Amino acid sequence: MKTKRIISGRTGSTLIATMTTAGILGSILATYLAMTSQENLKVKRSVGWNAALPMAEAGIEEGCSQVNANMSGYWKDGWTFNPTTFVYNKTRYLGDGYYSVDLNGFPGGLVFMTSTGYGAWTGSNYISRKVEITARTPTPFYPNGLIANNIGFQGNFYADSFDSRLGPYSKQTATDHALIASPPGSSGYTINGTANIYGYVACAPGAVINCGGSAVVGDFSYNTKGIIQAGHITNTYTQVYPPVTTPYGPTTPGVRIATSGTNAGTAYNYVLNGGYYYAPDLAAANGKMYVSGTTMLLTTGAVNLASITFAVNPTNPPQLNLVYGGSSLDNFLVSLVNGSAPQFWLYALPSCTSMKMTSGGDYVGVIYAPTVNLSAQGGSITGAILANQFNCQGNFSFHFDDATSGAVAKKFEILTWREL
């Protein structure tokens, strides 16, 4: 006998409810797992985000150490240099993160650093954060007199000193502590003829300074010829002066092209309002320049400047740092209007090897030119001089400006710091 199996509608309903419940639970579990995964990614991202900033700051710290440790250039210690962008770079891996820091600038001026720190996130993905600073480099080197490897005096040479912060040079304001020195690597020099040096002479250990003829070296009250006054000579001069390096290029971000303009109704061939400038040359006939803020100007062509006018600012006088990358600067005589030697610095790149003053005239400013042979036939230089070789003829005077020393002897200082 056959019997029929009766399937209850309730059983089917239970199965449907069970499957529905299982689906809901599965959906909830999937959502929970997804949320957990997202939360885990967020946690990892947060960890990477928090780790990226110390990485960026570590890059800044290494950049600052590089600037302080290498005063003659930043290409040492594993830093690479890009000649197109004029940027030095260092990348360093630390644990599961790393940083990459870019450095732009040169010793003795301002440097700009941008450091990007990378914190690990997922796999090969990183979270990045960026810090940017502007810093003033330390400048313990400055020509504190007339400094040259080879020194030759012919004709009538006269040297004394003064302080332009107290007023312009005159016989009444002159002091007797000029310095004539040869740095390490020089064998010394000879003082003869009718040279009158009111101050001091110095050379490096092992070098020799000879004095003869009618030369006088000492203070204003000393007049014995051919013999250097006691206490006014030393062979312990050990200051080393590094070469000038190219600070930037014409296309470096932030660098402006020098253009003409007017100020107070006066037309100028070049107007510099502070910051970083480039000019292919300064060849305008009897060129006139106006400087309203502290400026660095790079040029590699002919220079024919007749005058530089500085904006009058007693509390913060503007300064012009002219970086020259040509081969020679002959008969470069420029008059300063409203300015003194500490406000005009001429930096000669290694490509420049000659500077001649054949027409006399008076030059006011600081010449920092460790590869230049400087020849002066008459005239005067008021300020400070660093050259490879110095020779003078005729009636030539050197007036060392004490104010040039304090103008640049500065320590390393971070001027701005921000996270980008």
Contact 208, 229 (CB under 8 A): no
Domain shared by 134 and 190, yes or no: no
**Has residue 272 been placed in a domain?**
no
Angle 355-361-367 from CA coordinates, rounded to 5°: 40
Q: Which residues pair with 28 in a beta bridge?
A: none
Q: For all residues of the chain together, what is the average pLDDT?
A: 87
Residue 328: pLDDT over 80? yes
What whole-number distance in Å separates Cα of residue 415 and Cα of residue 405? 22
Question: Domain boundary residue among 84, 114, 138?
Answer: 138
The pLDDT value given to residue 374: 95
Q: What is the DSSP letter of 109?
A: S
Mean pLDDT of 218-227: 96
The pLDDT value given to residue 30: 62
The pLDDT value given to residue 137: 82
**Has residue 301 been placed in a domain?**
no
Residue 180: pLDDT over 90? yes
The pLDDT value given to residue 337: 95
Residue 208: pLDDT over 90? yes
**Has residue 270 been placed in a domain?**
no
Please state, for a pLDDT cut of 70, what percent of the chain lies above it: 86
What whole-number distance in Å separates Cα of residue 19 and Cα of residue 322? 84
What whole-number distance in Å separates Cα of residue 221 and Cα of residue 225? 12
The pLDDT value given to residue 31: 63
Contact 149, 186 (CB under 8 A): yes
Mean pLDDT of 373-385: 93
Output the six-digit token pair for 50. 């928090």
The pLDDT value given to residue 121: 81
**Has residue 298 been placed in a domain?**
no
The pLDDT value given to residue 33: 60
Q: How confident is the model at residue 7 (pLDDT cuts 50, 70, 90)?
A: low
Domain shared by 111 and 161, yes or no: no
| Lowest mean pLDDT, pick from 28-37, 178-187, 279-288 | 28-37
Mean pLDDT of 338-357: 93
pLDDT in tens, 138-172: 765 678 899 999 999 988 999 999 999 999 999 99
Contact 301, 324 (CB under 8 A): no
Q: How confident is the model at residue 391 (pLDDT cuts 50, 70, 90)?
A: very high
362 CB burial (10 A radius; 0-12, 13-18, 19+): middle
Mean pLDDT of 96-102: 94
pLDDT in tens, 17-59: 666 766 676 666 666 565 655 666 666 678 878 889 999 999 9
**Has residue 66 been placed in a domain?**
yes
The pLDDT value given to residue 220: 97
What whole-number distance in Å separates Cα of residue 380 and Cα of residue 394? 11
Domain shared by 110 and 152, yes or no: no
Please state, for a pLDDT cut of 90, what percent of the chain lies above it: 59
Residue 95: pLDDT over 90? no
Domain shared by 132 and 168, yes or no: no
Domain shared by 69 and 212, yes or no: no
* Token pair 């002091």: residue: 175
Domain shared by 131 and 38, yes or no: yes
Question: Domain boundary residue among 103, 138, 173?
Answer: 138
What whole-number distance in Å separates Cα of residue 337 and Cα of residue 355? 23
pTM for the model stands at: 0.72
Question: Which residue segment(s) compose the domain that 186 sits in?
Answer: 146-246+325-414
Domain shared by 133 and 167, yes or no: no
The pLDDT value given to residue 35: 63
Angle 197-198-201 from CA coordinates, rounded to 5°: 60
Helix (H, G, I), strand (E, B) or coil at 288: strand
The pLDDT value given to residue 32: 57
The pLDDT value given to residue 408: 46
Give the number of domains in the chain: 2
**Has residue 297 been placed in a domain?**
no
Taking alpha carbons only, the member of 336, 330, 320 closest to residue 382 is 336
What whole-number distance in Å separates Cα of residue 253 and Cα of residue 171? 47
Question: Domain boundary residue among 89, 111, 138?
Answer: 138
What whole-number distance in Å separates Cα of residue 219 and Cα of residue 197? 8
Mean pLDDT of 109-128: 87
Residue 322: pLDDT over 50? yes
The pLDDT value given to residue 386: 95
Domain shared by 116 and 98, yes or no: yes
**Has residue 217 been placed in a domain?**
yes
Contact 195, 153 (CB under 8 A): yes
Output the six-digit token pair for 246. 């190219």
